[in-house]
């Protein structure tokens, strides 16, 4: 998000979802809400890179009462042979899950 931009906030029926990458290595560039539970995310190119996007790092926050499952589409991956195309799954850290069960990254 770089510079003076503020984190993206999307309203939904249960509260809000905040996407944020204002921290070291955060690389989300833009978010567009498609529906109440679906978001398209664009990832910023690596500095001095050759425009092959193969990783993403951002955080999402929402209020306690947000219980809906949401769908996040990373729409600008350009590397044709990424491991995500072969079933690799992203890693997540959920503070709520950690506080409830002690499970960290999954």
pLDDT of 22-40, one tens digit each?
Answer: 888 888 888 888 887 788 9
If phi > 0 it is left, if psi is from -120 to 50 it is alpha, else beta; for residue 94 that is beta
pLDDT of 37-62, one tens digit each?
Answer: 788 998 887 777 666 666 788 888 87
Q: Is the pTM of this model over 0.75?
A: no
- In the chain, helix, strand, coil percent, each to 5? 10, 30, 60
CA 81 to chain centre: 21
């Amino acid at each position: 998000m770089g510079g003076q931009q503020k984190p993206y906030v999307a309203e939904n029926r249960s509260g809000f979802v905040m996407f944020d990458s204002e921290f070291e290595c955060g690389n989300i560039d833009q978010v567009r809400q498609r529906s109440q539970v679906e978001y398209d995310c664009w990832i910023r190119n690596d500095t001095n890179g050759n425009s092959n996007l193969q990783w993403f790092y951002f955080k999402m926050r929402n209020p306690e009462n947000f219980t809906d499952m949401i769908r996040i589409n990373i729409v600008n991956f350009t590397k044709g042979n990424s491991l995500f195309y072969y079933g690799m799954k992203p890693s997540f850290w959920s503070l709520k899950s950690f506080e409830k069960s002690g499970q960290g990254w999954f």
